[in-house]
Chain A
Amino acid sequence: SNGKKAGEERRRQRERGKKAPTKDQKESENEGRRTNKKGKEGENKQKKDRKTSTSSASSNSSEEESLAEEELAMLMEQVEQKKKLISTMRNKPWRMVKKLSVLREAQAFVEKFEGALGKGKGKKLYAYKMMMAKKWVKFKRDFDNFKTQCIPWEMKIKEVESHFGSSVASYFIFLRWMYGVNLVLFGLIFGLVIIPEVLMGMPYGSMPRKTVPRAEQATAMDFSVLWDFEGYIKYSALFYGYYNNQRTIGWLKYRLPMAYFMVGISVFGYSLMVVIRSMARNANENTADGDDDNFIFSWKMFTSWDYLIGNPETADNKFASITTSFKESIVDEQESNKDENIHLRRFLRVLANVLIICCLCGSGYLIYFVVKRSQTFSKMQNVGWYERNEVEIVMSLLGMFCPPLFETIAALENYHPRIGLKWQLGRIFALFLGNLYTFLLALMDDVNEKLAEEDVVKNITRWTLLGHHNSSAGNGSTATPPPLDPADVPRGPCWETTVGIEFVRLTVSDILVTYITILVGDFIRACFVRFMNYCWCWDLEAGFPSYAEFDISGNVLGLVFNQGMIWMGSFYAPGLVGINVLRLLTSMYFQCWAVMSSNVPHERVFKASKSNNFYMGLLLLILFLSLLPVAYTIMSLPPSFDCGPFSGKKRMYEVIQETIELDFPLFVAKIFSYVANPGLIIPAILLMVLAIYYLNAVAEAYQRANAELKKKMQMQREEEKNKRNNKASTNPALQDLEDLLTPSTKSESHPKQAEDKKIESPNKTSPVGKEGRAAALDGSPTTGGRGAAFTPPPHVFVTQPPTLGLRPPYPGQPRPRGHPMGPVPGRGRGQPRCSYPA
């Protein structure tokens, strides 16, 4: 290395002072890479001395020289290099002392010459730009920190996670996400529909649709009436019927009916976009690591400890869960080697499925029966509280008792817990879906009846108004007739408000049932087990009933279905989303408390990270299913004649046509009429179908290519293992000679191996890796003998790429160092090449 230093000095004196520091720096960098990472102190000191000497040399020479064009470019390049060094400094595994000194030197250099660069082209502007760039980076970092701090409930969820594991925490993360979505929807509806109507529309009592009818006014403030969402609540901005059909309201000329319609559509549009975006993000993360079940045990060993635990109790839990998880993997491993009686298993599974289908049909029929009965009840006069709420009660009871029933039947099936969970979720989903659609069918019957009633009421209203005018005209001849008090006008049945009320009542009863279930099922049970254990015959904590485990699947499905009902009902009851936001907020706190105080961690702990897309898939399905009824009613049912923003029109979507005709210039109407032509729409749909097919084919092709590559990697690994096994006994020197004498096959496999390595770790070929290999090569004793084996045939060495003699898995390694490949006999470079492995 002395010879090298001499060469460097000479080179430095030959070239200009400014260029030397960089080249020197690069050389020292390369030096740093090649030497052992453990950092010999002497080496460091030497480098520091050299650096200080070069920096002093540069500071002397910079002042007097004037900057010519090429020097400017050269200088810029050096500055860029230094900047790159600064930015990648973090990735280098050097000691902190070394890093700090190199960093300071590079920063000093950049500062000194950045200003100098500006002399040529307007120093102030350049310096200003640099400063702005730095400030921008700092601002972005601060903003990121701020954003992370703004995420609500992070500590709460972490606490739950540290006690119960990631699957329970994933439910709460899902809940938080739903809360965010609902908040946005609420903002849309509240800001664009409710507020304008309340501020700029006609006040309460001014129109028939906004007033409680005379007949009901006596009881309109009673709590029981309000609880049923009748009375004053029914005639408020919470429901569809309140809104006026005036085309523009207020001095802003705000088009309320149009806004109502567009907000209704955009609620679905936004939800769809957000769900699909979330699914795509999850799918990306999944394919990034693939299903690498190759490393189960290794990952368990090296990544299972959570370094963020700061609580001894939690640490105990974590130790226990790690132990359990190891035991479970061991059991899994052993079970996969076992053979089972397949026929018995199949029979049991078929039996279980038959039983469950019976249950589902039974529950569907029960709901249908109950809904039909409620229709006959509504015709009766004095109905008790039970009869009025029978439908909701039955649905809630079914939702409470069927899932545990399914679970006990599923015990017959003997699946792996993760698969069993998916089956359970699917069945509960089918149950809720059946219930919901039966409910909707019954509701549709109701709506049709109301529509028939409307015609009758329309006539009555007209005659009443006529009669009133005649009578008032009879009293005073020329005076304008006093308007009929809005409370006295006969009212139509307003089916949209009825539908809205039904959904709101269903939601509220669902909320109540959920909270009461948690309170009784978890909290009271925990209290009972805890306190009665002292005076009970058998051990309550270990046997029945013991503490409850957190039911992830039930809770997630409840959340998903609740959201489905919100989507369905929000068009007819704009206030529903607000109620849901409140519900989610309180639910978060309530359930966090309940989980921490009354639940115990699951016995079998398994990772739930991949189920996230499953939940999103369910949500997407529910979104489509809840879009259908709303779209159907918008398209095919006529709106009520005297309530809501679309009253008086034949169909609700006519508001769009009206707006286009009246508010937009003529050509827009023409454009829309062309676009709406079926001749244009059908080819567009065909085109989209073709695009989907094409993208599907491309995705499949990529997947196949992926699988092939993985197989190739596997095979290579097996090959290497076999080779190692076979050759473990032979002389390493002989082996090297053998390798050298078969260059053709090796050079063919090299590009493939290099390519595979590149594909394997595209962005992760890091200096660390290279350093590691270098260190392993240089420092470890095992390759020392191999290094000795190199020196005998130097002539072969310089004609072949030096990689052949080294371990075959790392062919691409010396190349990035810039050593020229191929024969280089003439230069004195042969010297360092032989010496570097030593």
Chain B
Amino acid sequence: MGNKQTIFTPEQLDAYQDNPFRQRIAEVFSEDGDGNMTLDDFLDMFSVLSEMAPRDLKAYYAFKIYDFNNDDYICKSDLEKTVNKLTRNELTPEEVNLVCEKVIYEADVDNDGKLSLEDFQHMIIRAPDFL
């Protein structure tokens, strides 16, 4: 298939390993929830992540990605995991706590202490640099 490189050395692959949510993305788009994808799932993933996908669709999948324990709610522990992944554990626990509390205060509309899909969508649709 031409002379493009199709076999990557481990070092080259390492260079692409920086997305903090890579594991979650693979899990969300895979059939069995474990990270193994068929071609159709693969296509699905790229279709959602492309620029032309509508924001609602992206918001829906983003919610699933950030929901680490798959309970259809983003609870405080999910938020803590997100923050730690984003900052590579550089923030102190008090700071992490403060950030999570602020997020819940800002976005939780029905006030159940966690973010449901509607809360998340309502908040993310307005964000100017969402994906």
Contact = CB atoms under 8 A, between A and B. Distances in A.
A721 B66 CA distance: 24
Given A97-B40, A301-B86, A769 B106 contact: no
Interface string B92-107: 0001001100110011
B62 interface: yes
Interface string A773-810: 10110011000000000000000000000000001011
Interface string B104-131: 0011011110001110011111111111
A330 to B, nearest CB: 6
B81 to A, nearest CB: 11
Interface of B is mostly: helix
A323 B118 contact: no
A155 to B, nearest CB: 16
A17 B28 CA distance: 41
A724 interface: yes
A96 B40 contact: yes
B112 to A, nearest CB: 7
Interface stretch (A340-348, A731-739, A760-768): A760-768
Given A96-B40, A295-B123, A303-B130, A720 B109 contact: yes
Contacts, number: 153
Most buried by A among B18, B62, B83: B18
A769 B120 CA distance: 11
Nearest to A808: B110
B4 interface: no
Contacts of B16: 310
Nearest to A766: B56
B7 to A, nearest CB: 19
Contact of B99 (A96, A330, A609, A761): A330
Contact of B86 (A299, A304, A717): A304
A142 to B, nearest CB: 14
A533 to B, nearest CB: 26
B15 interface: yes
Contact of B56 (A95, A319, A769): A769
B31 to A, nearest CB: 8
A297 interface: yes
Contacts of A434: none
Nearest to A609: B128
A295 B125 contact: no
Contacts of A609: 128
A772 interface: yes
B72 interface: yes
A310 B12 CA distance: 11
Contacts of B88: 319, 323
Interface string B71-82: 010000001001
B106 A772 contact: no
B125 A779 contact: no
B121 A322 contact: no
Nearest to A92: B57
A319 B106 contact: no
Contacts of B99: 297, 301, 326, 330
Contacts of B116: 776
Interface in A721-762: 721, 724-725, 760-761
Interface in B13-35: 14-16, 18-21
A310 B17 CA distance: 8
Contacts of A91: 54, 56-57
Interface in B32-49: 40-41, 43-44, 47, 49
B89 to A, nearest CB: 10
Contact of B126 (A295, A301, A304, A309): A295
A764 B55 contact: yes
A583 B83 CA distance: 45
Nearest to B108: A721
Interface of B: 14-16, 18-21, 40-41, 43-44, 47, 49, 52-57, 59-62, 66, 72, 79, 82-83, 86-88, 90-91, 95, 98-99, 102-103, 106-107, 109-112, 116-118, 121-131
Interface of A: 90-93, 95-97, 100, 285, 289-290, 292, 294-299, 301-305, 307, 309-312, 315, 319, 322-323, 326-327, 330, 333, 609, 717, 720-721, 724-725, 760-761, 764, 766, 768-769, 772-773, 775-776, 779-780, 807, 809-810
20 contacts: A90-B52, A100-B40, A285-B128, A295-B126, A297-B103, A298-B103, A298-B106, A298-B107, A299-B129, A302-B123, A312-B15, A315-B18, A323-B90, A330-B95, A330-B98, A721-B111, A768-B56, A769-B121, A779-B72, A809-B110
Given A299-B129, A724-B112, 18 more contacts: A96-B43, A97-B40, A289-B126, A296-B106, A301-B79, A307-B131, A323-B87, A326-B83, A327-B95, A330-B95, A330-B99, A333-B102, A720-B109, A720-B110, A768-B57, A768-B59, A769-B118, A769-B121
